[in-house]
Amino acid sequence: MERPAAGASYQRFPRVRIRELRDEFAKFELRDTDASVANALRRVMIAEVPTVAIDLVEIESNSSVLTDEFIAHRLGLIPLTSSAAMAMRLSRDCDACDGDGSCEYCSVEFHLAARATDSGQTLEVTAMDLRSTDPKVCPVDQADAAGDHRGILIVKLRRGQELRLRAIARKGIGKDHAKWSPAATVTFMYEPDIHINEELMETLTLEEKQSWVESSPTKVFDIDPVTQQVTVVDPEAYTYDDEVIKKAEAMGKPGLVEINAKEDSFVFTVETTGAITAYELIMNAITILRQKLDAIRLQDDDGDLGELDAHLVGG
């Protein structure tokens, strides 16, 4: 097994360029690194950035058509504003309480009381009806309430039906349960590098060019109406399906286009549940990933990784 020379370094300095950034959406480029780092960042965003979610529900009264367990499960999946989650303690690590919800360091208490009194109308109980003891932690619907928006539906009540409960929200991560994941979607793709063989393309008729362009399932190429040349209009729409390459070969024009993935350049798309902003999700994930790397570095200083390296060299 070939080993790097003593003192050799593979240190790289990744660069990030933000393309689009909104409260719940971000698109950015990650360059000068490899797929292992890109995937590590993706997995941390999905499974290890903490949020706050309802974890314990005490039903005081429930005469609705839904069982207690069903309602508790629905409550757990309601996204809560979690900007303060990074500073909170995990309830299992908190030495200031027993995790019953009365602790300012690890828990937030919610109450809900609803009763239907109108015989002619169904009462919709939603996330807007949850009352939090901490104004910083509330259902995302309450934080973004506008107009007639009623929030996430919990249960519908008919006349005489009632729902009263107490709920405890705690800090957690998506690795433990999906309700704590702040990410709705986190994807990345290799940035495609597309080169058209202009000389070979000029041997095609306009109809052949049109047929070749239309062979792509996504609109990657188009024909300039003035010059009638094929141009790349959206390289990132390419899905690595090889359809245009197969079409070129079927036309007897292999090498008409060359498409390669840039192995050190990735395009990320991030959507959040609203618990935290897309910017917070990205920055918190970078912080957590850095902490993990620091922990590995400390292990190396203690000699643990040195023994592994010696074993590999000996093998």
Segment 52-62, tens digit of pLDDT? 999 999 999 99
Under 8 Å between Cβ of 101 and 56: yes
Distance CA 276, CA 287 (A): 15
Look at residue 92 in the predicted model and tell me its pLDDT. 86
Quote the tokens at residue 291.
Answer: 């902490």
Residue 314 is predicted with a pLDDT of: 54
Cross-strand pairs, 54 = 169
The DSSP line for 229-254 is: -EEES-GGG--S--HHHHHHHHTT-T
3-state secondary structure of 261: strand
Residues 6+ apart with CB under 8 A from 304: none
pTM over 0.85: no
> What parts of the chain have a pLDDT lower than 70?
1-11, 99-101, 143-149, 302-315
Percent of the chain clearing pLDDT 70 (strictly above): 88
Give me the pLDDT at residue 6, please: 45
Cβ(210)–Cβ(89) below 8 Å: no
Q: What residues pair up with 185 in beta bridges, in sequence order?
A: 271
- What size, in residues, is the chain? 315
Q: What is the pLDDT of residue 257?
A: 96
Strands 221-223 and 230-232: antiparallel
User: How far, in Å, CA of 169 to CA of 54, rounded?
Assistant: 4
